[in-house]
């Protein structure tokens, strides 16, 4: 039994007019696509920049290197718990009872003193979960993407180290 007879092929043959309309559509869409491509090929529209002389400015909400403003961190560990790759290392000690009371800039009491806050940016997948759960919003992504290192261990950033604060201040001045 022929397929047409079985009802599986229902298409009717193209009419003369449809045939030429299809050709015209193909030429029109190829022309449209090539017009965009040729703009880039002949440099009417640039797609490359002369990095590092020229730098891409990332949007403010881009997720790049993380920053923890440790003075507002309450060591709640929520960020490290949420992290899917366990690349946030935190340790803290309870503040002495007679130690002066300290608060975050939003007025939250700080009951633990951070002794370590390190993020291994080589493992980080920039998912943003840690920043989402942070109750004091001290953990944020920056738009800094220039922090490659020769040694992978150097991608572990100690946020208690003064040079990290210097880095952050430098970024803020840009
Ligand atoms: S952005 Fe994601 S992977 Fe990176 S430290 Fe935060 S939770 Fe972990
Ligand atoms: S979630 Fe925020 S406040 Fe809590 S430990 Fe992490 S950075 Fe600090």
Domains of the chain, by residue range, sit at 14-47, 66-173
Question: Ligand 1: which atom is nearest the Cα of residue 125?
Answer: 3
Residue of 90, 122, 123, 127 to mutate, ligand 1, most atoms within 8 A of C-beta? 127
Contact 131, 140 (CB under 8 A): yes
Per-residue pLDDT tens over the stretch 106-153: 999 999 999 999 999 999 999 999 999 999 999 999 988 999 899 999
**Structure tokens, 41:** 């090929």
- Please state which of the four CATH numbers 3.90.226.10, 3.40.50.880, 3.30.70.3270, 3.90.180.10 is assigned to the domain occupying 66-173: 3.30.70.3270
CA of 16 to the centre of ligand 2 (A): 70
Q: Is the pLDDT of residue 73 over 70?
A: yes
Q: How does the average pLDDT of the chain come out, rounded?
A: 89
Q: How many CB atoms lie within 10 A of CB 173?
A: 6
Q: Is the pLDDT of residue 3 over 60?
A: no
Ligand 2 lined by 160 (C-beta under 6 Å): no
Contact 114, 75 (CB under 8 A): yes
Contact 70, 88 (CB under 8 A): no
Q: Model pTM?
A: 0.74
CA of 101 to the centre of ligand 1 (A): 31
């Amino acid at each position: 039994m022929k397929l047409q007879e079985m009802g599986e092929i229902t298409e009717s043959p193209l009419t003369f007019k449809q045939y030429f309309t299809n050709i015209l559509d193909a030429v029109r869409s190829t022309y449209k696509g090539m017009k965009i491509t040729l703009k880039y090929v002949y440099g009417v529209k640039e797609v490359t920049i002369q990095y590092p002389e020229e730098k891409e400015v990332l949007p403010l909400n881009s997720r790049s290197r993380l920053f923890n403003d440790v003075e507002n961190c309450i060591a709640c560990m929520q960020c490290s718990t949420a992290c899917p790759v366990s690349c946030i290392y935190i340790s803290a000690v309870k503040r002495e009872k007679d130690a002066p009371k300290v608060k975050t800039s939003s007025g939250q009491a700080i009951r633990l003193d951070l002794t370590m806050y390190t993020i291994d940016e080589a493992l980080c997948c920039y998912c943003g979960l840690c920043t989402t759960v942070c109750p004091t919003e001290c953990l944020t992504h920056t738009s800094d993407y220039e922090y490659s290192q020769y040694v992978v261990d150097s991608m572990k950033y100690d946020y208690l180290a003064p040079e990290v604060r210097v880095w952050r201040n430098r970024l803020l001045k840009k």
